[in-house]
């Protein structure tokens, strides 16, 4: 995999909105923080546009992204928020100059579309991490934000957590891939679907019905995407819902059941995704997952 250059003080970064609309007030605290880090913040021309729920029309969102992909002075593209919309522009983007001059693409949730497309076709590391929408003034000192800074500037990151009741012990090493489960599910059968064989898969989700989680896990399993992993990391499964007639299993139990026949290590409740903590993960990076007396993941 290709590693983009880490940032240093004085570098330029861009903030873009490839999906849902966002306001200046929602992004401004993050802009000020990035400037405190010594970075020059460049805004996309249409970053605060609005057309229905989108941040401008497809052509505008695509143009903003293409301009910043092609600009070699921009060292990272920070997506302002997720929502929905990245899939509507992904096939229109030309990544040829990005491949010659790689830069960090940062975001999560709907940005899983962009991570997955780059992972499959170009082999460039990207960053699953918190976004400006999630960085109001009162949250700027959180672990989510600090790990984003460390990841962007190339500082060592090692995550550890207590062993959980459904965590499955073992050790695995492989390329880290994945993101939002619903998005990964939606990309299956497209040319943005990731290859999972021999990799450590990370999944997370929010605001889903339990039977939807079961449907998605069954589909990944039937497609062979869970069979030959080196490890599975399950992040935040936040605000899950049930029907009047209960599904009868928790989210963790659904996932555990889907992978119980496989022998790789499994970690639940990893602090990444839509939950209170969303630590930075470098997708495309070879990592080692150790699930023993505690869980450890190193970058």
Domain 158-298 is classified in which CATH homologous superfamily? LD-carboxypeptidase A C-terminal domain-like (3.50.30.60)
**Mean pLDDT for the chain overall:** 97
Q: Residue 139: what pLDDT?
A: 87
Confidence of residue 79 (pLDDT cuts 50, 70, 90): very high
Q: Which CATH topology does 12-153 take?
A: Rossmann fold (3.40.50)
- State how far the Cα of 161 lies from the Cα of 166, in Å rounded to an integer: 13
Q: Residue 12: what pLDDT?
A: 98
Q: In the predicted model, is pLDDT for residue 299 greater than 90? A: no
Domain ranges of the chain: 12-153, 158-298
166-195 average pLDDT score: 98
22-37 average pLDDT score: 98
Q: Residue 262: what pLDDT?
A: 98
**Percent of the chain at pLDDT above 90?**
97
Q: Residue 293: what pLDDT?
A: 86
Q: Residue 259: what pLDDT?
A: 98
Same fold, 12-153 and 158-298: no
Please tell me whether the overall predicted TM-score, pTM, comes out greater than 0.95 for this model. Answer: yes
Q: Residue 63: what pLDDT?
A: 98
Over residues 125-178, the pLDDT tens digits come to 999 999 999 999 988 989 999 999 999 999 999 999 999 999 999 999 999 999
């Amino acid at each position: 995999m290709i590693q983009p250059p880490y940032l240093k003080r004085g570098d330029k970064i861009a903030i873009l909105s490839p999906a849902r609309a966002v306001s200046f007030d929602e992004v401004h605290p993050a802009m000020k923080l990035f400037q405190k880090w010594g970075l020059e913040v460049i805004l996309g021309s249409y970053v605060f546009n609005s057309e229905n729920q989108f941040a401008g029309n497809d052509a505008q969102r695509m143009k903003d992204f293409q301009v910043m992909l092609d600009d070699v002075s921009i060292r990272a593209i920070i997506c302002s928020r997720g929502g929905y919309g990245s899939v509507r522009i992904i096939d229109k983007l030309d990544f040829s100059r990005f491949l010659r001059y790689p830069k960090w693409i940062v975001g999560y949730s709907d940005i899983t579309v962009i991570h997955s497309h780059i992972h499959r076709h170009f082999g460039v590391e990207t960053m699953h991490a918190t976004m400006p929408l999630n960085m109001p003034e009162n949250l700027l000192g959180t672990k989510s934000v600090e790990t984003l800074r460390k990841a962007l500037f190339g500082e060592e990151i090692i995550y550890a957590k207590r062993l959980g009741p459904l965590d499955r012990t073992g050790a695995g090493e492989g390329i880290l891939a994945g993101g939002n489960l619903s998005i990964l599910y939606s990309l299956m059968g497209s040319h943005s679907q990731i290859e999972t064989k021999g990799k450590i898969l990370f999944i997370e989700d929010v605001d889903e019905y339990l039977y939807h989680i079961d449907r998605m896990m069954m589909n990944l399993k039937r497609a062979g995407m869970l069979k030959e992993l080196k490890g599975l990391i399950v992040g935040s499964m936040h605000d899950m819902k049930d029907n009047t007639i209960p599904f009868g299993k928790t989210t963790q139990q659904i996932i555990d059941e889907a992978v119980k026949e496989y022998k790789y290590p499994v970690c639940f409740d990893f602090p990444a995704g839509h939950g209170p903590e969303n630590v930075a993960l470098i997708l495309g990076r070879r990592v080692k997952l150790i699930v023993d007396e505690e869980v450890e993941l190193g970058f």
